[in-house]
Structure 1
Amino acid sequence: MSTCTTTKSCCSADKVVKPVTSIEATTRYKWSVGGMDCASCAAKIEKALASIAGVKQVRVAFATERLLVDLDQNMSPEAITKTVQQLGFTIKSTDQSEEEEPLWKAHSTFTLLAVLMTLASIFMIVDPTWGSVGFLVATTAGVIPFAKKSLNQIRNGTWFGIETLMTVAALGALILGETVEAGLVLLLFSLGEMLEGFAGRKAKAGIKSLMQLTPDTAWKIQDGERIEVPADFLVPGEQIEVLPGDRLPVDAVLFSKLGSFDESALTGESIPVNREAGEKIMAGSLVVDKPVRLTVESEPGENAIDRIVTLIEEAEERRAPIARMVDKFSAWYTPLVMGFAALVMIIPPLLTGAAWTPWAYKALTLLLIACPCALVVSIPAAVTSALASAARFGALIKGGAALEQLRSIKKLAFDKTGTLTEGKPKVTHVAGIAEQENVLLSLAGSIEMGSSHPLAAAIIDEAKNRNLAFTEATDLQVLTGRGVQGTVSGRTLKILAPRYIDDSALGQHKTTIESLESEGNTVVVVLEGNTVLGLIGLADTLREDAIEAITKLKKIGVSSVMLTGDNRRAAAAIAGKLGIDFKAELLPEDKVKAVQAIQAQNNGAVAMVGDGINDAPALKTAELGIAMGRGSDVALETADAALTHERLVELPHMIKLSKNTARITRQNIALALGINTLFLLTTLFGMTGLMAAVLSDAGGTVLVTLNALRLMKKQG
C-alpha cells in the first residue's frame, strides 16, 4: 500500500489508498476523535457516519480514540469531519500534535451551569425575584447545548437519545415555571458526563504511556558508523545499536554474541532474560548491562508495541458497547410521554369542546410528572453508592457498565507475576555445601552489592534480614548472560546459573538443583574455583491472600485459571498450590487467544486480572479487565476496575456488590416509574395538580436515593 498524508485543513486525515479489489476502489482515512465520554459515544458516531452515501466501512475505537473510514475514492472526507463535528466531537488528523483541553473547558456546559446555579442561589437568598431570574437564565443557558446536540443527533438518525430526554424535561419544567428543578436536572446529567469524560481521558493517557515505551530515534550502523535516525525510518535488515538503559525501538534479532534484557514491560516477568545471537527481542525491551547490536526485523508500525495497541483496538471493536439503561429507556419513554401529553392537551377540547387552558395545564403537569428526575437519579444513585462502597474496601470500579458486568462473571483468568504472586523474587532456599548457610549468604551478598539485578537484590535482602556482615568485594566482573565474579577477602568467587557449569563440577548436587527448579525456583550456584560452596534458590512468592481469594470465588460459583509468560515448571508449582488450571509461556498475543478460547467454552462472562503492559490486550478482550493497583499505567487505564490495595480477597466482594447493585437498581426504577404512573393517573382525572406533581417528583428522588445508600455497607 502507498501512504500519503494530506494537510488540507485542521481536520485532514491520514490517507491510505487501498488496493483495488472490486470495480470501485476505496480510500481509507484515519482521524483522532476527541470528546467521547463512553463507548455509546463511539456507537453514535458509527451510526451517523454509516448512513452517509459513499461510506463503505466505518470503525471507531473508543480506547484509542481512532476513527477509520473507507470511502469511495472520488468522495471527499469533508462530509465525515463535518458530521462528527455536528455531533459535538472534535476531529483531527492522527499526525497532528495534540494539546488536551483542561477538564473544566472540555466540559464547559457543566462549568457554566455550576457557576450560574450558584449565583442564582445567592440571588435567591438576597432577593427571590432576582433569584428566579437567575435560575431562568441558568436553565436557559444550560439547555441550549443539549438542544443543539439533540437536533444534530436527530438529523443523523438518533431521534430520542438521552440528550432529547434532558431537553424535553428541562423545557417542560421551564414552561411550568419550575426553573430550579429544570436547572438541577441539567446540572446532574452534566456532572455524570464530566465524570465519564475524566475516565476517558485517563484511558487515553494510558495508551500514550504504552506508545512511549519505544524511543523516537535509534542508532543505525551504516558503513561502520553510528548514525541517529528516526525509528520510523528503520526497515528490516538494517543494523542498530542500543545502549544500556535504553529500549528497543523495533522488533529485532540479536547480532551481538550475548545480551541481557529486561522484558518485564511485555512479558510481566521481573527477572532479566539472557539472550544469545540469533534470538528475537521485542520492541520495548530494556537493555540491561552493555551495548548490543541487533538486526531490525519488524516493518515500520508493526512492532510488538504497535501490535498491542492494535489488539486493544480490535478487542474494543469486538465488545458490543453496553448502552446506558436510561438511553435505551428514553428511546420509547420520551416519545410516549410527549405524545400522550399532546393528546391530553388536544383531544378533550376538540372532541368535547372543553376549554383549552385547563387541558394545556394538565398536559404540562403531565410533562413535569414525567420529568425523569427520580428515574435519572435512580441508576446513578445506586451506582455511585456502590462505587463509593467498593473504593472504601480497596476496589476502583470504572463506572456503571463495569459494575453491571461484574455480576455475570463466571470465570476469572489471572496473570501470575505481580497478581497471584508478589512480583519480586525472594530467597526461598539456601543450601550450604562447602560453607555454612550464613557464610554462603554473606559471601554472595558481598559479590552482589551494588548490582540492580532482581536476583542480586533478593540475595542482599535475605542477608540483611539475617543481620549478616558484608565485606567489600574487588575485581568485580559481570559475566554477561551467565552471572558475576569477584574477590572477597582474597577468595575469588563466582555466582553462576547452573546451566553454565559443567555437570562434572555439579556432581550429585544436580539432583538438588532439579528438585528446586521443579518447585518453581530459580537456582544460582556459588563457586570457588571448581568447588561448589552452596546453592541459593529464589522464587516469586504467592500473595498471602491468594489461596483465600480462590477459595471464596469457588464458593460463589466462579472458577479460576492462570495465564503467564513464565516457564511451565514455575507456573505448575504456583497453580498446584492454588488448585487451579494454568497456561504458561504465553506472549501478549497468546494471552488474548487464551481468553478468547475461555470465552468460547464458558457459559458466563470472563474477567482478566493482571498488572503488566503485556496484560493490556487480554484485559480489553475479556468482558471485564481488573488491574492490580501498583501495576503498569497501561494495565490500570485499560482495565475496567483496579484493586488499589492489591487484596485479591476483594474480588468476591466486588462480584457480590455488583449483584446487590443490580437488585437495588431494579427497585429504584420500579419506585420511580411507579410514583410517576400513579400521579399521571391522578392528574389525568383531576385529583392532583401542579403542587402534587412537584412533590411526587421530589419524593421519588428522595426515596430512590435512600434506597441506594444501603449499598454503602460492605458486601459479605
Structure 2
Amino acid sequence: MATQTTTQPLRFKITGLDCPDCAASLEKAAQALPGVAQAQLVFTASELLVTPKDGAMVEAAVKGLAGSLGYEAVLVGTEPQLRERGLRVWLRHHRRDLSTAASGILTSIAFILGSLGASQSLERTLYGAAIVIGGIYIAKAGWAALRTAHTLDMNVLMTIAAAGAMAVGEFAEGAVTVFLFSIGELLESYSADRARNAIRKLMELAPDEATVLRDGQEARVRVEELFIGERVLVRPGERVPVDGRILQGRSALNQAPITGESLPVEKGEGEDVFAGSVNGAGALQIEVTRLAKDSTLACVARLVEQAQAERAPSQRFVDRFARLYTPIVVGLAVGVAVLPPLLGLGAFSIWLYRALVLLVIACPCALVISTPVTIVSALTRAARAGVLIKGGRYLEELGGLRVIAFDKTGTLTQGKPQVVGGACELHANPSRECRVCQDLLAKAAAVEGQSEHALAQAILDQARAEGVQAIYPTAEDVTAIPGMGIEGLVNGHTILVGSHAFCHANGGDGERLCAQVSEAEGKGQTVVVIKDACCDSACYLAISDALRTGAPETLAEVRRAGVERTVMLTGDNPFIAKAVAQKAGIDEVHAGLLPEDKVRIIEALQKSYGHVAMVGDGVNDAPAMAKASVGIAMGAAGTDTALETADIALMNDDLSRLPFAIRLSRRATRVVRANIAFSLAVKLIFLALAIGGLSTLWLAVLADTGASLVVTLNGLRMLSFREGR
C-alpha cells in the first residue's frame, strides 16, 4: 500500500489506549515527528489526527511510533484490508492480556508456596518472574515514552516502582503492584470502550446495503453505490438507507435516531425521510436526494466525532494541572528518598520505599480521565435524543445558562402564518364579493410572487384559495424595503404591500381602516396593508402565526431546569410580540428589532447575566446566535445551514428537547466536578499516607486504579440519563 502524501489530516485508529495521561505521550511524540505539522489525540474516540506538512510522508512513521509505545495504529479507511485471522494475529492483539494472566498465576503460586513453607529463594524467583513477565510491556512502553516523548508517564513510574521494590527486597509487593496495575489498565480500557461503543452504535444506525430499483429489477447494492435520483425500495421493518423523498407509499416512520421523537411520524408521497429511520407497516419507494456520505445521519455522526476533539474548559484545566502535578510529586518523591536519611531520620531503605509509593501516586490517570468520559457520554446521550451538542465547551456553557433569548417566528410560533381576517374602507369584514379586496389581493400576489418573506407565502396562499393569484402578471420594478414592506408596478399601478406605517407614509389611509388595523394589532395579529397608490384604494390582511403546541409548558420546564429569565427578540411589532409573549410566558420582550439590534441586546444580557443562549432557526438569527454564549438552532435535521452554524442543534422542529438538554448539561457538569474532586481527594489522602509510611505499594496502585474506575463508571452513567431527572 502506498504511503500517504496528502496534507489533509490523517485519522489513525489506535488500539490499546486505556489511560489518557499515558496516551498523551503518543500525541506529544507524534507532534515531534519529522514532517508532522500537527497531531491531536482524541482519547474517547481512540483516534490520532495527524496533519502532515506539504508533501510529507508520515503514515509509516506514525505506525512505527505507535508500535514502539505499545499501541497499534491503523489508518482509517484501510481497516477492511487488515481483517486477518489466525493464532498469530490473536496472540498479537492479546499479548498484554496473556502477560497479565501469567503474572497473576506466578504471584498466586509464589504466595501459596510461601504459605506452605517453601524456601525464600523460590518465592523470590517466582515473584521476580511475575514482575518481569507482567512488567515487560509496561517497561517497554515507559522506555519509549522517555525516548520519544521525553515524558514521565504512568508506565515509567510503575517501572521505577517495581524495580525499586525488588531493590529493597520487597519482591512480593513488586509482583502484586505490577499485577494490580495491569488488571486496572485492562478494566479502564474496557470501561473507556463502553463510551466509544456508544458513539460507534450511533454511527451504525444506517444499513450498509439498500434495495435499488434499476430497469424495473430489484438489486441489493451498498449504500455508497447509490446515486442521487435513484429509486430505492424500503420494506416494512427495514431502516431507510439514505436521505430521500417518498415517491410511492405511506407509512409510519420511527425517526428517533435522528430527531429523538418518541412516536412514529406518518409520512406519504412528497415528504422527506432520513437515513436510519425505521419503516413501519407500509412499503415505500423513495428517491435518493443525498448521497450516503452526505446524509443527515452521516452529518450528525461526523459532528459528534468532531465534538469529541473539542476540549471542554474543565478538561483544559485538568490537563494543565496534570502537567504540573506529576513533576511536582516526582520531585517530592526524590526529596523523600534522599533528605530524611541524610538528616538521620531513618534508614535509606525505609524512605526509598515511601518514595516509591509516591511515584505510584504521581500519575494523574484518574484525574485526567474524569472529564472526557463524562463529556463524551453526555454528548452521545444528547445525540440519541435528537440534540446535537458540538463539544464539551458548549455542554458546559449550556449547563451554566442563566438567560435564554428566543426568536418569535418559527421558534415560539409555528412559522406558518395564515390569513385570518381583513377589511377595506368599504367593508368592516373581508368578503369574496368585495371587488376592491379581491383586486388588491390579486395585485399583492403579483408583487409578493418574487418575495421569500414568510408573510408573502401567507398572502399567496390566500390569493390561491380565493382564485385570484393569476389575474395579474408578475410585478415589475419590485423593491423590498427592509423592515417595512415591498412595492412594485402591476399594470402600471404602484402597489405597496407592508406595514401600516409604510403604507400610511405613502398617501395616508381612511380613519375607518386605521381603526380596524389598530384593533387587529391589539389582538396580537400581524397586519399587512395593501395599497394601490394610483387610485388611493387600500385594504389590510390580518395574519396570525399560531403559538407552538406546548410552548408555555416547555418554557415552564426551562425555568424549572434552572434558567432564571426568558427573553423574546423579534422584528415584529410590539402589540403582536407582547401578545405572543403573554401566551408563552416570556419574561421580557424586545420588538421591532433589526438583526444588529438583536446582537446589541444579547451583548447587554451577557453583561448583566453572563451565560446567555439564543434560540432561532440558525439562518436569519445567525448574528445573534454567534454573539450568544450558546447558539441553539431548531429543526436542524432539515437544514444543512442550521447544522453547521449552531453550537447546539435541536434536530426535531420541537422546543421540548430544550429542557432535556439543559438538565443533561447541568448533570454532566456536576458529575465532572464530583469526579475531579474525588480524584484530587484520593491523591491528597495517599500523598499524606505515603509520606507518613502508612501506605504500601500495592495499596497505592489499588487506590489509583480504583479511583480511575470509579470516575469512569460515574461518567458512563450519563449514557443512561433519563429525561425526568
Compute the TM-score of the two structures, normalised by the length of structure 1: 0.53
* Aligned equivalents of 1:251, 1:190: Cα separation in 2: 46
* Aligned equivalents of 1:142, 1:672: Cα separation in 2: 25
> What letter corresponds to residue 34 of structure 1 in structure 2?
T
Please, which moves more after superposition, 250-259 or 233-242? 250-259
Q: Is this contact kept in 2: 1:671–1:704, CA < 8 A? A: no
* Aligned twin of 2:70: 88
Three-state SS of the structure 2 residue aligned to 1:294 is: strand
> What letter corresponds to residue 376 of structure 1 in structure 2?
I
Deviation at residue 704 of structure 1 after TM alignment: 11
* Aligned twin of 2:284: 292
* Aligned equivalents of 2:46, 2:30: Cα separation in 1: 16
Q: Is this contact kept in 1: 2:399–2:665, CA < 8 A? A: no
* Aligned twin of 1:421: none
Please, which moves more after superposition, 63-72 or 88-97? 63-72
Q: Match for 2:356 among 367, 371, 375?
A: 371
* Aligned twin of 2:101: 111
- Asked if 1:188 is matched to 2:180, the reply is yes
Deviation at residue 36 of structure 1 after TM alignment: 1.5
* Aligned equivalents of 2:625, 2:12: Cα separation in 1: 30
- Asked if 1:247 is matched to 2:239, the reply is yes
Deviation at residue 328 of structure 1 after TM alignment: 5.0
* Aligned twin of 1:213: 205
- Asked if 1:73 is matched to 2:55, the reply is yes
Q: Match for 1:36 among 17, 23, 27?
A: 17
* Aligned twin of 2:33: 52
Q: Structure 1 residues 577, 249: closer, same or farther in 2, change over 3 A?
A: same
Deviations 1:337-385 (A, max 9, x none): 448857999x99xxxxxxxxx99x9555433111236973998999999
Deviation at residue 408 of structure 1 after TM alignment: 12
- Asked if 1:226 is matched to 2:218, the reply is yes
Q: Structure 1 residues 183, 27: closer, same or farther in 2, change over 3 A?
A: same
Deviation at residue 659 of structure 1 after TM alignment: 5.7
Q: Structure 1 residues 69, 194: closer, same or farther in 2, change over 3 A?
A: same
* Aligned equivalents of 1:553, 1:659: Cα separation in 2: 18
Deviation at residue 109 of structure 1 after TM alignment: 4.8
Deviation at residue 165 of structure 1 after TM alignment: 1.4
Three-state SS of the structure 2 residue aligned to 1:241 is: strand
* Aligned equivalents of 2:677, 2:667: Cα separation in 1: 16
* Aligned equivalents of 1:39, 1:705: Cα separation in 2: 13
* Aligned twin of 1:127: 117
Three-state SS of the structure 2 residue aligned to 1:227 is: strand
Three-state SS of the structure 1 residue aligned to 2:207 is: coil
- Asked if 1:672 is matched to 2:662, the reply is no
Deviations 1:62-112 (A, max 9, x none): 344344434343626211110111111112243424589799766445433
> What letter corresponds to residue 114 of structure 1 in structure 2?
G
Q: Structure 1 residues 81, 594: closer, same or farther in 2, change over 3 A?
A: farther
Three-state SS of the structure 2 residue aligned to 1:81 is: helix
Q: Is this contact kept in 2: 1:219–1:242, CA < 8 A? A: yes
Deviations 1:181-230 (A, max 9, x none): 22333333333322220122223322332233212222223233332222
> What letter corresponds to residue 223 of structure 1 in structure 2?
D
Name which one, 1 or 2, has greater alpha-carbon Rg: 2
* Aligned twin of 1:265: 257
Q: Structure 1 residues 317, 101: closer, same or farther in 2, change over 3 A?
A: farther
Q: Structure 1 residues 67, 344: closer, same or farther in 2, change over 3 A?
A: same
Q: Structure 1 residues 233, 171: closer, same or farther in 2, change over 3 A?
A: same
Kindly report which structure 2 residues correspond to 1:698-709, keeping only aligned pairs within 5 A, or say none.
none
- Asked if 1:62 is matched to 2:43, the reply is yes
Unaligned 5+ segments in structure 2 are 371-380, 382-391, 405-464, 466-545, 568-580, 589-611, 649-659, 712-725
* Aligned equivalents of 2:114, 2:625: Cα separation in 1: 58
Deviation at residue 336 of structure 1 after TM alignment: 5.7
Three-state SS of the structure 1 residue aligned to 2:248 is: coil
* Aligned equivalents of 2:363, 2:32: Cα separation in 1: 34
Q: Structure 1 residues 704, 220: closer, same or farther in 2, change over 3 A?
A: closer
* Aligned equivalents of 2:192, 2:706: Cα separation in 1: 30
Compute the TM-score of the two structures, normalised by the length of structure 2: 0.52
Three-state SS of the structure 1 residue aligned to 2:206 is: coil
Deviation at residue 146 of structure 1 after TM alignment: 1.8
Deviation at residue 27 of structure 1 after TM alignment: 6.1
Three-state SS of the structure 2 residue aligned to 1:181 is: helix
Unaligned 5+ segments in structure 1 are 1-5, 19-25, 349-357, 386-395, 397-401, 415-501, 503-516, 522-538, 562-571, 607-611, 624-645, 680-692, 712-716
* Aligned twin of 1:630: none
Deviations 1:474-494 (A, max 9, x none): xxxxxxxxxxxxxxxxxxxxx
Q: What is the root-mean-square deviation of aligned Cα atoms in Å?
A: 6.1
Q: Is this contact kept in 1: 2:36–2:56, CA < 8 A? A: no
Kindly report which structure 2 residues correspond to 1:397-436, keeping only aligned pairs within 5 A, or say none.
410-411=400-401
> What letter corresponds to residue 372 of structure 1 in structure 2?
V
* Aligned equivalents of 2:268, 2:46: Cα separation in 1: 39
> What letter corresponds to residue 123 of structure 1 in structure 2?
L
* Aligned equivalents of 1:265, 1:574: Cα separation in 2: 32
- Asked if 1:159 is matched to 2:141, the reply is no
Deviation at residue 51 of structure 1 after TM alignment: 0.9
Q: Is this contact kept in 1: 2:27–2:39, CA < 8 A? A: yes
Q: Is this contact kept in 1: 2:177–2:697, CA < 8 A? A: no
Q: Structure 1 residues 597, 294: closer, same or farther in 2, change over 3 A?
A: farther
* Aligned equivalents of 1:297, 1:706: Cα separation in 2: 51
Three-state SS of the structure 2 residue aligned to 1:69 is: strand
Three-state SS of the structure 2 residue aligned to 1:92 is: strand
Q: Structure 1 residues 38, 150: closer, same or farther in 2, change over 3 A?
A: closer
* Aligned equivalents of 1:408, 1:367: Cα separation in 2: 48
Three-state SS of the structure 2 residue aligned to 1:245 is: coil
Deviation at residue 34 of structure 1 after TM alignment: 1.1
Q: Is this contact kept in 1: 2:26–2:149, CA < 8 A? A: no
Q: Percent identity?
A: 22
Q: Match for 1:333 among 310, 329, 336?
A: 329
Q: Is this contact kept in 2: 1:379–1:668, CA < 8 A? A: no
Deviation at residue 283 of structure 1 after TM alignment: 1.3
* Aligned equivalents of 1:701, 1:220: Cα separation in 2: 57
Deviations 1:523-559 (A, max 9, x none): xxxxxxxxxxxxxxxx9x99xxx97x975968xxx99
Deviations 1:629-656 (A, max 9, x none): xxxxxxxxxxxxxxxxx9x999989877
* Aligned equivalents of 1:247, 1:657: Cα separation in 2: 35
Q: Match for 1:198 among 170, 190, 197?
A: 190
Please, which moves more after superposition, 283-292 or 93-102? 93-102
Deviation at residue 177 of structure 1 after TM alignment: 0.5
* Aligned equivalents of 1:574, 1:163: Cα separation in 2: 62
